[in-house]
A = this chain, B = another copy of it.
Amino acid sequence: MTRRTSKPLRIGKVTVGGNAPIAVQSMTKTDTRDIRATVNQVKELEDCGCEIVRVAVPDKEAAESLAAIKKSVSLPLIADIHFDYRLALAALGAGVDGLRLNPGNIGDKEQIAKVVAAAKERSVPIRIGINAGSLPADFQPKAPMAKRMVKMALEQIRLMESLDFDLIKVSLKAFDVPTTIRAYQMIADKIPYPLHLGITEAGLPRTGAVRSATGIGILLYQGIGDTVRVSLSAHPCEEVFVAYEILKSLGLRQRGPTLVSCPSCGRAEVDIIALAEAVSKRLGKITAPIRVAVMGCVVNGPGEARDADVGIACGKGKGAIFRKGSIINTVNEKDLLEALIAEAERIEQALGCGIG
């Protein structure tokens, strides 16, 4: 996993690209014209670890809400614009930290030039956000989709560069995972700009999280990607949660506890699934990046539990509590949950993370 070199840029207080941590972003699902609801959702997103937030700006009234929203939130704010370049100008006027334009529908070169000039004046980056579903049907109709997406992106990039603008970020999203991967791979060597990863319209969490993890995980493992937005038909905090789980799986970010738990099998002598669920619920209050293991038997149990900061390996009616490689206690089954959580809390306090 050697990360592709990209030219870092700033979205408000957050650096995207270069050696900066891969940033997690999401999008509000409230009506942007409803300032209070949108501000509340941005704050929820901040609380759940989102680092950059995007809001849809479908009309003039939404654009006019942006100034008030921006004033009430501390997360960097990106305006998502389609169809009407004047909304982009209005969003820049309202002080947004970034723009996302869809080159498939934003307007002609002259209109784009006006937006680029206004963004340049304010040093506001623009994401060229290509979606397979919104490429004009008459654009390179015979080429494979990934190639069409890349060609459209490169055309827009060259246009912006010709206007002496380089605060560019690019995304190339499709629902189809191999198409998405090919598109990002194709563009990765051709441009120096940060890449925003996502699998578009991935669906409900149960399927969309798997689809997103497969596609985004493969790209990140190839060193491609500077910021991630998981698209799920769900509350946006679920998108943030899944994004962090992908990044945590690859060791690229840390956030909160990680639960190692065995799938259970005919060997388990306690109800390991119920125990893992109870532990997970209680770990929700812990913010330290500790590894907690809940293991059902002696096969991998002690081995994995030893590897964890704290763990239990269950036997018949009782379990051993491990802390950093040493058995510190053996307790009855009914006391396992409390004993494990007490240890996790002690570790968190020792790390100075407090219980949030």
Binding site for B on A (CB under 8 A): 1, 27-33, 38, 55-58, 62, 80, 82, 102, 105, 131-135, 175-178, 181, 200-211, 213-215, 217-218, 221, 231-234, 236, 239, 241-242, 245-246, 249-251, 258-268, 272-273, 276-277, 280, 293-295, 297, 299-304, 307
B299 contacts A267, CB within 8 Å? no
- Residue in A1, A56, A263, A280 whose Cβ sees the most chain B Cβ within 10 Å: A263
B239 contacts A263, CB within 8 Å? yes
Known contacts A38-B266, A56-B267; 5 additional CB pairs below 8 A are A58-B267, A133-B307, A210-B210, A214-B214, A233-B263
B259 contacts A56, CB within 8 Å? no
Given A131-B303, A233-B262, A250-B178, decide whether A276 and B217 contact each other with a Cβ distance below 8 A: no
Q: Output the least CB separation between A186 and chain B (Å).
A: 15
A204 contacts B133, CB within 8 Å? no
**A29: contacting residue among B31, B250, B264, CB under 8 A:** B264
Which residues of the other chain, B, contact A280 by a CB distance below 8 angstroms?
203-204
Which residues of the other chain, B, contact A263 by a CB distance below 8 angstroms?
27, 29, 201-202, 231-234, 236, 239
B133 contacts A301, CB within 8 Å? yes
**A1: contacting residue among B178, B245, B268, CB under 8 A:** B178
Closest to A275 in B: B233
- Residue in A133, A232, A307 whose Cβ sees the most chain B Cβ within 10 Å: A133
B209 contacts A210, CB within 8 Å? yes
Closest to A281 in B: B204
Complex Cα spacing A271 to B82, Å: 20
A276 contacts B204, CB within 8 Å? yes
Which residues of the other chain, B, contact A299 by a CB distance below 8 angstroms?
82, 102, 105, 131, 133-134
Given A177-B249, A213-B210, A268-B29, decide whether A260 and B1 contact each other with a Cβ distance below 8 A: no
A29 contacts B273, CB within 8 Å? yes
Q: Output the least CB separation between A294 and chain B (Å).
A: 8
Q: List 15 A-B contacts (CB under 8 A).
A: A1-B178, A29-B266, A29-B268, A38-B266, A57-B266, A80-B265, A132-B303, A133-B307, A134-B299, A201-B262, A204-B276, A213-B214, A232-B263, A233-B272, A236-B263
